[in-house]
Homo-oligomer: A and B are copies of this chain.
């Protein structure tokens, strides 16, 4: 073997450059359990401090990508375009977006993750549709994509196993917050989807993993650089995550709100972001006038029909999409009221997301079960005028004592001031 892990750690520790060959060797050996975790975690920490340059990063991502299966949908004539979000509170965009984009002519081979921490996962939301399965073998994944132009599945075990192993280690060793490691983790999985184009929704703000705009921008640029270097046209939108997206934070309730978007009844911010991301997806697929096409697919109901069709293909009961009142709903409800009159100046995504998670809408640990019927409906968001005693939020919960113990925390999410304020700009920046 031409490389030793200790030398690679020392190289990165001292701020020097790893060769592409050594990176490929390392990640292959690590996936085969031939490099111990204690060496990989020391290297990961050195990367947290000293980073990876574009060449190292390309090699790192390719090695993780090539540690597992890479899909090939070249037999499908439509352009293969996916969207990925870095995760936000109330972010259910994928659910209305994927069918809308498919209706407008791109194929969407979407593989999503589960939620962890204060942000929900698309898979968890979809699974609140009775019968809906997100665990598909590669043959069925391909069939649904070819038959319906869109598939919404969990990440297969055979995709980027190096990333799965490394991510679990990073989670346990304080080495998650490294832009090159985050970027290569996301991109190694997305590039395994055999895409022609990729749109990234990089969140910034209180409810985002990246709280400040500079770091969000750097993550966006880094991922766009990786995608482009790999030959996949990649565009990132940096978008605000100061307050939750839409009015629903939960699982079944987010399916309801997704259906509302497809019925032309969605809340303005959620609709705006869905259309903005969809427009870029269509642009990358070589389809012009994307915004108009997407709006038409809402107006004529074809987007909703596509979601129904796809849900059925996944084994789901489509009746809940036509009548969302049939979705699971927790037995108890309470309201959060405004302590004073004025204008909402803050509706903190992190606080709302954390409380929703504690109520059972998300996972604190990987092994936690999701309760699809609990959730928070926001009745007042930034810029809204409220009067003392008016409802800020409706909370659906199962366990009284759990809700009681988090009530005060949820109340801290809102701030109310005397002067009118504008809601935050949603799409902050497009890269490139």
Q: What is the interface of chain A, defined by CB distance below 8 A to chain B?
A: 6, 9-10, 13, 36-46, 48-49, 169, 172-175
Contacts of A169 in B (CB 8 A): 38
| A169 CA to B42 CA, complexed, in Å | 10
- Cross-chain pairs A/B with CB under 8 angstroms, 6 sampled: A13-B45, A36-B172, A37-B38, A38-B173, A41-B41, A45-B46
**What would 17 more interface pairs be, CB under 8 Å, given A42-B44, A42-B174?**
A6-B173, A6-B174, A9-B45, A9-B175, A10-B174, A13-B48, A13-B175, A36-B37, A36-B38, A38-B40, A38-B169, A39-B173, A41-B42, A41-B45, A42-B42, A42-B175, A45-B46
Q: Is the CB of A13 within 8 A of B172?
A: no
* Total copies of this chain within the assembly: 2
Contacts of A42 in B (CB 8 A): 41-42, 44-45, 173-175
| A48 CA to B174 CA, complexed, in Å | 15
| A153 CA to B222 CA, complexed, in Å | 56
Q: Which residue in chain B gives the minimum CB-CB distance to A40?
A: B38
Contacts of A10 in B (CB 8 A): 174
Contacts of A49 in B (CB 8 A): 45, 49
Contacts of A6 in B (CB 8 A): 172-174
Measured CB to CB, the closest approach of chain B to A27, in angstroms, equals 16
The CB with the most chain B CB atoms within 10 A, among A38, A44, A48, A49, is that of: A38
Contacts of A36 in B (CB 8 A): 37-38, 172
